[in-house]
């Protein structure tokens, strides 16, 4: 029969989980956003079709490893709940709740080692309140309710599961039997791989293991000279991966730190991250809703050592040195710092990533929150101070409730973002796009003008202004010319490429004769010749794909085919060939389309069937188009025959 303390603990966990679910429930009605459309909506599979599932799982370009586990989970959500966002967000919430339970479990196992003077009741409360603070912290909203960030959630889930397997193996290392090997050599590596193929941050697991070894279990480097079951495991799954990863980083540094398409270089990023990480810590420990948003592109890039940046660097060095000297006297504080630092090593250091995103703190926040709760329970002169955890938790619940209510609609998300951060280009553009979709053209154009004043390097705003002004009877060349002048100096961004795609769609619809195809081609040519873009084969290929579409719309068949094939050779995206085949079918160039489809079939064999899902629809389109042509020919023949009188 369970003990009274176990029953109380279980009830407490259930109360926190139900409270979290209740607060987040209103946010589940929110929409898909931004990257959701490329990573989730376009990967939707209606039924259990193995070819379509394989295609969706293997065609994500988010990370270097494809994030197949995350993509498989999106496919599962779509099959179970359909294409609407509610089901995807519901599954995100379930994963969030599971992560909260795993955080409690991990801390419950580690606390007796890291702080042996704590009694059983305090251990349960510290682990429980840390998990509760984390579950109900408003900073987590933009990870849980932004569907695509399930990648971060799943990586965290399997990271925690891997660490629990490692801790369990350590507890069993002195015993005989198979259970040690089950946790160490089955559970741990499986969870590590699942985390890694959910998101690349799973590569940090070996560093977490080493941190726990040194800070929690007090193992020194000389202890690894002894041969034992546990030492072999830590060397194999801790030290060795870190050394191999460091070697990979050194040998691939130039490709991983290529900032040619950014407005900042690696030095700028490192300096700016001193400020960004400080902002993260502030949002975790002193949360303020005005600081939290889906968009953080308003962060000012730091290009030199000013007073504040120098001070932050000095403080960081002092903190790390202090942690080294007090690692035995204050193991919880040092563990919390180590956890936070390790969590940010990939996304807040030298790599070519954007400056700031809230989801980077999804797992990192555990460290600071753990330290806060622990020390609230460790003030000997005033032990009742620990009860302040209750009003703190209630405040977090209130803030999270307010934020989840904002996430019920695009309009509220974007309006709040622009209101709090009008210097965020992405927030302003997102709100402008929303107004345009609703037919509020003047408001949309006004917001684009604001966006243009925010970022002088982004010419996608001028392209979209031309699109938004279609049908107003205005001359639109000036907007494309302005975009062209910027494109000659600054590299194209994903937003600019998306704007070019939108121009092609508008021209193809026939609803905007004011936009001249020749002007668009000239803009694309200039964009492709920009110094940084011309050296990037991927971006060049994307621009050539758009150029090919414009040539098709102009009736330049040979140029369109040549550019489409060149774009495919540069990007190796089969979707470009599939789009080309479908376009040739619409032009009734059936023999050429058949050649392209057979090329896709041959490539599919090389790729072990990855493209199977798109091949049969292409054949079906071709067969249907040929049949329609025959029917039309027969109908025309019948109409041309003279009537025979009786």
Query: Would you say how long the chain is, in residues?
Result: 646
Q: CA-to-CA distance for 280 and 295, rounded, in angstroms?
A: 14
Q: Is the dihedral of CA 151, 154, 156, 162 positive or negative?
A: negative
- Answer yes or no: is 211 within a domain: yes
Average pLDDT for residues 297-310, to the nearest whole number? 92
CB distance 459 to 487 below 8 Å: yes
- Answer yes or no: is 515 within a domain: no
Q: Which of 292, 289, 290 minimizes the C-alpha distance to 395?
A: 289
Does residue 288 have a pLDDT over 90? Answer: yes
Does residue 111 have a pLDDT over 60? Answer: yes
CB distance 430 to 414 below 8 Å: yes
Instruction: Out of 153-162, 249-258, 443-452, give the one with best mean pLDDT.
Output: 153-162
Instruction: Out of 190-204, 252-266, 493-507, give the one with best mean pLDDT.
Output: 190-204
Does residue 646 have a pLDDT over 70? Answer: no
Average pLDDT for residues 486-494, to the nearest whole number? 92
Better-predicted residue by pLDDT, 596 or 218:
596
Residue 161 vs residues 100, 157, 170: alpha-carbon distances, Å: 12, 6, 14
Average pLDDT, the chain: 90
Range of the domain at 172: 147-239
pLDDT of residue 639: 66
Range list of H helices, 225-365: 229-234, 240-251, 253-256, 266-285, 307-325, 331-343
- Answer yes or no: is 188 within a domain: yes
Percent of the chain's residues with pLDDT above 70: 97
CB distance 192 to 205 below 8 Å: yes
pLDDT of residue 640: 61
DSSP code string of 620-639: HHHHHHHHHHHHHHHHHHHH
Percent of the chain's residues with pLDDT above 90: 63
DSSP assigned state of 221:
G
CB distance 435 to 472 below 8 Å: no
* Confidence class for position 30, pLDDT limits 50, 70, 90: very high
CB distance 279 to 291 below 8 Å: yes
CB atoms within 10 A of CB 230: 21
Tally of domains in the chain: 1
* Confidence class for position 371, pLDDT limits 50, 70, 90: very high
Does residue 351 have a pLDDT over 50? Answer: yes
- Answer yes or no: is 140 within a domain: no
**pLDDT tens by residue, 538-560:** 999 999 999 999 998 888 989 99
* Confidence class for position 232, pLDDT limits 50, 70, 90: confident
Q: CA-to-CA distance for 302 and 273, rounded, in angstroms?
A: 9
Does residue 128 have a pLDDT over 90? Answer: yes
- Any idea which of 254-263, 317-326, 476-485, 567-576 has the lowest mean pLDDT? 254-263
Does residue 643 have a pLDDT over 60? Answer: no
* Confidence class for position 644, pLDDT limits 50, 70, 90: very low
Residue 444 vs residues 118, 430, 434, 450, 461: alpha-carbon distances, Å: 59, 10, 8, 10, 11
- Answer yes or no: is 325 within a domain: no
Residue 37: both structure tokens together: 């459309």
Residue 475: both structure tokens together: 């001359």
- Answer yes or no: is 633 within a domain: no
pLDDT of residue 642: 58
pLDDT of residue 206: 96
DSSP assigned state of 490:
S
Better-predicted residue by pLDDT, 227 or 148:
148
CB distance 36 to 148 below 8 Å: yes
- Answer yes or no: is 522 within a domain: no
pLDDT of residue 173: 82
pTM (predicted TM-score):
0.92
Q: CA-to-CA distance for 146 and 24, rounded, in angstroms?
A: 12
- Answer yes or no: is 26 within a domain: no
pLDDT of residue 205: 96
CB distance 598 to 557 below 8 Å: no
């Amino acid at each position: 029969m369970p003990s009274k303390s176990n029953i109380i603990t279980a009830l407490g966990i259930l109360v926190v989980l139900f409270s979290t679910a209740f607060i987040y429930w209103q946010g589940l009605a929110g929409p898909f956003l931004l990257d959701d459309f490329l990573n989730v909506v376009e990967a939707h599979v209606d039924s259990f079709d193995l070819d379509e599932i394989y295609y969706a799982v293997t065609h994500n370009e988010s990370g270097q490893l494809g994030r197949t586990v995350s993509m498989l989970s999106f496919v599962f959500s779509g099959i179970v709940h359909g294409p609407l966002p509610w089901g995807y967000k519901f599954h995100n919430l379930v994963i969030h709740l599971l992560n909260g339970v795993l955080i409690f479990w991990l801390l419950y196992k580690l606390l007796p080692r890291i702080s042996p003077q704590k009694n059983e009741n305090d251990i349960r409360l510290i682990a429980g309140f840390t998990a509760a603070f984390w579950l109900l912290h408003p900073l987590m909203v933009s990870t849980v309710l932004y569907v695509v960030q399930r990648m971060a959630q799943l990586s965290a889930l399997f990271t925690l599961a891997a660490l629990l397997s490692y801790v369990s193996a350590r507890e069993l290392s002195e015993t005989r039997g198979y259970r040690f090997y089950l946790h160490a050599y089955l559970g741990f590596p499986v969870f590590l791989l699942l985390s890694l193929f959910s998101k690349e941050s799973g590569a940090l697991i070996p560093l977490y293991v080493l941190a726990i070894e040194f800070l929690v279990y007090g193992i020194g480097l000389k202890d690894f000279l002894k041969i034992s079951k546990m030492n072999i495991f830590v060397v194999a799954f801790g030290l060795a991966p870190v050394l191999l990863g460091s070697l990979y980083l050194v040998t691939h540094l130039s490709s991983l730190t290529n900032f040619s398409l950014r407005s900042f270089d690696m030095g700028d990023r490192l300096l700016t991250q001193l400020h960004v990480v400080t902002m993260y810590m502030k949002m975790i420990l002193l949360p303020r809703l005005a600081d939290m948003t889906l968009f953080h592109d308003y962060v000012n890039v730091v290009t030199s050592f000013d007073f504040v940046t120098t001070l932050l660097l000095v403080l960081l060095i002092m903190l790390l040195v202090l942690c080294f000297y007090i690692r035995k006297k204050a193991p919880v504080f040092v563990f919390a710092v180590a956890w936070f630092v390790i969590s940010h090593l990939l996304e807040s250091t030298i790599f070519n990533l954007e400056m700031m995103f809230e989801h980077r703190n999804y797992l990192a926040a555990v460290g600071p929150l753990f330290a806060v709760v622990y020390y609230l329970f460790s003030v000997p002169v005033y032990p009742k101070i620990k009860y302040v955890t209750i009003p703190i938790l209630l405040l977090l619940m209130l803030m999270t409730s307010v934020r989840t209510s904002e996430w019920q609609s695009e309009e509220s998300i974007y309006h709040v973002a622009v209101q709090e951060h009008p210097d965020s280009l992405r927030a302003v553009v997102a709100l402008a796009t929303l107004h345009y979709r609703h037919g509020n053209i003047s408001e949309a154009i006004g917001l684009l003008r604001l966006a243009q004043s925010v970022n002088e390097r982004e010419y996608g705003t001028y392209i979209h202004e031309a699109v938004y002004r279609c049908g107003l009877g205005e001359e639109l060349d000036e907007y494309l010319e302005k975009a062209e002048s910027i494109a000659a100096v600054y590299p194209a961004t994903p937003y600019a490429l998306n704007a070019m795609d939108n121009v092609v769609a508008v021209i193809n619809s026939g609803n905007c004769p004011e936009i001249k195809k020749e002007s668009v081609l000239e803009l694309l040519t200039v964009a492709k010749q920009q110094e940084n873009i011309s050296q990037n084969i991927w971006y060049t290929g994307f621009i050539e794909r758009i150029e090919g579409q414009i040539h098709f719309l102009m009736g330049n068949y040979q140029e369109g085919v040549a550019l489409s094939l060149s774009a495919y050779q540069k990007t190796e995206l089969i979707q470009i060939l599939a789009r080309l085949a479908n376009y040739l079918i619409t032009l009734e160039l059936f023999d050429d389309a058949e050649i392209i489809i057979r090329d896709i079939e041959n490539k599919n064999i090389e790729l072990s069937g990855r493209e199977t899902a798109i091949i049969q629809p292409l054949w079906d389109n071709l067969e249907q188009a040929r049949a329609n042509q025959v029917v039309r020919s027969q109908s025309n023949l019948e109409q041309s025959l003279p009537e025979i009188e009786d």
